[in-house]
Structures are given as C-alpha cells and as structure tokens.
Amino acid sequence: MKFGGTSVGDVAAFERVFRIVSEQIDKRPVVVTSAMTKVTDALLSAFDLARKNEPEQGFESLQPHFERHVEVAEHYLGEDAKQKFYKELERAKSDLSEVLERVSRRSLPVQLLKDVVVAYGELLSSRLLTEVLRSKGINARHADARRLIMTDDEHGAANPVWDETEKIIQLELNPVLKNDEVPVMGGFIAASRSGETTTLGRGGSDYSAALIAAALRAGELQIWTDVTGVMTCDPRIAPAAYTIPVLSYEEAAELAYFGAKVLHPKTIQPAVDFSIPVRVCNSWKPEEIGTMVLAESGEAPSKIKSIASKKGITILRITSARMLGSYGFMSALFQVFERHRAVIDVISTSEVSLALTLDNVNSLDQIVNDLKRLGAVEVEHGNAVVCVVGEGLRTTSGLAAKLFSTISDVNIPLISHGASSVNVTFVVKEEVVGEVIKRLHDAFFTENIAKDAQT
Ligand code: ADP
Ligand code: ASP
Ligand code: MG
C-alpha cells in the first residue's frame, strides 16, 4: 500500500491512512509512504539556496516543514514515541544543516549531496507514520528503504539492481510479515552498491512500492493518492474528467510515460513481470473503488480511455539527403543520443528527415553540434506532447479522423501512432495544450460518461 504526499499531508491525513491500513490488516500489507506533501519541493529549494552559497537560509526555509511533522507527532504520539521521533527529527535537522553547508562548499559531487538532502522527506515521513500507526495499535515496524532497494549510482534517477533488490527485500521483509508486523518504509529513496543514498526520480515512491510488491509477489499493489484512480484526463485540466474502472498494463504505461502524473512511469513493469494487479485509489474517499490495472482491459464505449500530456518538450528536426536509400544513418544518429544519455520520447521519419522530441535539454547544445555532422538541424522549444490512449484504437477505424478534426485549427508539427497501437501521440504548442485536451475530452468522453461508468 503506497501513500502519496497528500495522503500524509497533515494530522487528518494520518488518521485516514490508519483507517485504510487497519481495514486491510488481514492481507498483511507493507506500507510505503512518500514525504509529506510539499516537503520534497522544499528540500530541493533548500538545496538550491545552499548551492547559491546560502546554506543557512536553505535550512531556515525548512523550519515550517519540520513543524508540520511536530504537529502530527504532538497530536498522535504518547510521551515515549514522541521522544523517539523527536530524537530522529533532531538528528535529521543537524545532518541536514551540515549537508547543506557541504553543498555550499561543493565538497562532494553535487548530485550525490542532492539525493542525501532530498531523502530526508521520506526518512522523516516513514518514521513518523510508523510511530503514528503503532500508537493506534498497529504492529508497525520501520524498514529503511536504503537497505532494501539497491540501485546503480545514477543519482536523481537511479535504476534498481533487480536480482539483489529482490533477494534483500524477501530476506528482510518476509520474516517481519510472518511475525504479523507491518513494515513501513519511505518510497523514492534507495542506496547504491557503495552505500550512497540514491533516489528513483520525482514521483518515484510508486516505483518503490511496485518493486516491493514484485519481490514479495504481492496479491495487489495499491497506490493511494488524492484522486479516485486514473481518470479520463488530469482533472486539473478538464474538471469533467472521471475515473476509468479498468486499464490494461499497456494503456497505463503509455499514460504514465506521457504525463499522467498519478502513476510514475516505471511503476507498471514490475507489476507486469509478476502479473500483480495494480489498484489506484483515493485516500480521501476510500470507499470508491478507483482504477484496476490488469493484463487486459477490453474496450470502453468511448473507444479511447484517457488523454495525457506533458509540457516542456523540445522538437529536433534532422534533414539530410544522406538518409535517402542508405543504411547506417539511423544508427549514427541514435549513437549521438546514447553518447549524451538523452531519452527520446516520440519519433517520426520520412525519406530525408526525422523529427523527434526530448523532455530533457541538459546537453542540447552538444547534441545539436554532434547532429550537425549528419545533416541540417532545427530546434523548436515550448511544445507539449499529447497522448491519447485506448485499446479501442487498435480496432476502430475513424478514431484518428475524429481526433484530428476536433482540433483541425491547431498546428500539429509531429504525429506518431504508437507502435503499441494503443496510443496516438502528437505534439502541439505548449500554449494550446490545455485547450486541446479540453476539446478532445468533450468530444470523446462527455457523451459517454454514463456508458463508461457502467462498464
Ligand atoms: P501522489 O502524491 O499521491 O503521488 P501525485 O500528485 O503524484 O499524487 O498524482 C496525483 C495527481 O495526478 C492528481 O492530483 C492529478 O492532478 C494528476 N493527474 C494527472 N493525470 C491524471 C489522470 N489521468 N488521472 C488522475 N490523476 C491525474
Ligand atoms: N517525494 C517524492 C517526490 O515528491 C517521491 C514521491 O512522492 O513519489 O517526488
Ligand atoms: Mg506521485
């Protein structure tokens, strides 16, 4: 059972978590928690201040967040538990103040220190949640995620080393579960082979929970968040969005990858590997069923299931007559991206040109320089990808026509009908993406609300 930041945001939220866990205590759950909401952002800002040579200000900016932990502790914990937690909190504070100081002195590689700083969000929330659950009668036991999930040393977006991680999780957690205890651990954080703290990328607690579920061959992976399941689109963009009862792994993976923040993109794979059903549910409304993600989902009456989007996308266009009838060109081109460790999202090719999108422009200048050896390169910033997903796209003709005619006045520089055939992905300018999603949502879903809800 994974609880996101808003599900452990304040005093009342901890009560909801307690209820949800205690109702399913017979299923022998493992609890994975994110940092309290806004804490990860606050830690990252403190880190940035420290880098700008203002470590004290960075540390001070965290005080209100420490205070939020204290409020929860004061509300739920008895004297002993409170003292135990405050000792942890004091240690965290003094470590953080020292690490921020080191950040300003740049004494270790900066990415490594960043992970050390940001990990305190989950370290504290998981300690606090353990004590709260214990104080309310659940036999909870804290488990340190850095001892359970082993990764490479790609700080900020580390990759788990599966075989070892699987073994350690089984070895550490199975005896705890057998003993009728409930392990409680922080998501998002892990450690490299050499024992340095690493993190799995923003929103990575979902992924931590999926790894745990896979290693223990859990009956179900539950992602508890602040909306009822995966919806037809981000409810913040189109308030008419509604919950999708069932999604396939493939559909969920495409949606997560192309911006549906409700699931971290890497969450699905471990579940797929061991056929573990994933349920996405609302910790504010636990009685609502939410979304089940399963191997197969079937079609919805609306044919498409959901629309996701991701901003901050850059398009690169490479044009070269050398592409014409030659081999080896693509390989040379992709090597450039491999060399700069840049991830490509969407690709579309013609005989003499190729367009692709990147959502991370860290090494853009070097990439463009290298690509210029292969052909003419154009760069276009400020785009968004829109991804329309549904098993119905495999089988129903005319959907693409309906889709593009709904937004026929919008310029679309790039289209890709995904190789998975459950998605159509295209690019629009960032300024219009909200409007595009609203219009598509109206066209595909509004008239099907009643029918979809029944399936
Ligand atoms: P948590 O802190 O629980 O991990 P997140 O903020 O990471 O929660 O994810 C939940 C948010 O994802 C929702 O509040 C919603 O705004 C956003 N979201 C984006 N796309 C979707 C979607 N298709 N369905 C549901 N929520 C979505
Ligand atoms: N706390 C981390 C973040 O905000 C991880 C997570 O919430 O899943 O990105
Ligand atoms: Mg999340």
Q: pLDDT of 238-271, one tens digit each?
A: 999 999 999 999 999 989 998 889 999 999 999 9
Quickly state the pLDDT bin for 185 (edges 50, 70, 90): very high
Cross-strand bridge partners of residue 378? 317
Determine whether the shortest distance from the Cβ of 387 to ligand 1 is under 6 A.
no
Torsion of CA 425, 430, 436, 441, to 10 degrees: 70
Question: Percentage of residues in the chain with pLDDT exceeding 70?
Answer: 97
- Ligand nearest the Cα of residue 121 is 2
The per-residue pLDDT for range 434-444, each reduced to its tens digit, is 999 999 999 99
- Ligand nearest the Cα of residue 115 is 2
3 near 189, Cβ under 8 Å?
A: no
For the segment 73-99, the average pLDDT, to the nearest whole number, is 97
Quickly state the pLDDT bin for 452 (edges 50, 70, 90): low
Residue 248, both tokens: 């396939």
Q: Is 351 exposed, middle or buried (0-12, 13-18, 19+ CB in 10 A)?
A: exposed
Query: How much distance in Å is there from the Cα of 17 to the middle of ligand 3?
Result: 16
Neighbouring residues of 88: CB distance < 8 A, sequence distance ≥ 6: 124, 127
Which has the higher per-residue pLDDT, 422 or 427?
427
Task: Give residue 164's pLDDT.
Answer: 97
C-alpha distances (whole Å) from 72 to each of 37, 88, 131, 134, 383 are 13, 14, 10, 14, 42
Mean pLDDT in the chain? Answer: 93
| CA 436/CA 294 separation, integer angstroms | 29
Task: Give residue 439's pLDDT.
Answer: 96
Sign of CA pseudo-dihedral 365, 366, 370, 371? negative
Task: Give residue 419's pLDDT.
Answer: 63
| Region at 413 (left for phi over 0; alpha for psi -120 to 50; beta for the rest) | alpha
Task: Give residue 422's pLDDT.
Answer: 85
Query: Is pLDDT of 321 > 90?
Result: no
Query: How much distance in Å is there from the Cα of 73 to the middle of ligand 2?
Result: 21
Determine whether the shortest distance from the Cβ of 260 to ligand 1 is under 6 A.
yes
Q: What's the chain's Rg over C-alpha atoms?
A: 23
User: Which residue is closest in CA terms to ligand 1's atom 9?
Assistant: 262
Residue recorded with tokens 């954080």: 189
C-alpha distances (whole Å) from 95 to each of 89, 101, 124 are 10, 10, 13
Q: What is this structure's pTM?
A: 0.93
Ligand 2 site: residues with CB under 6 angstroms?
A: 4-5, 34-35, 40, 121, 187-188, 202-205
Query: Is pLDDT of 35 > 90?
Result: yes
Q: Among 7, 34, 264, which residue has the most ligand 2 atoms within 8 Å of its CB, making it the best to mutate? A: 34
Quickly state the pLDDT bin for 350 (edges 50, 70, 90): confident
Task: Give residue 61's pLDDT.
Answer: 98
End-to-end CA distance of the chain: 26
Query: How much distance in Å is there from the Cα of 205 to the middle of ligand 3?
Result: 7
Query: Is pLDDT of 36 > 80?
Result: yes
Determine whether the shortest distance from the Cβ of 437 to ligand 1 is under 6 A.
no
Query: Is pLDDT of 309 > 90?
Result: yes
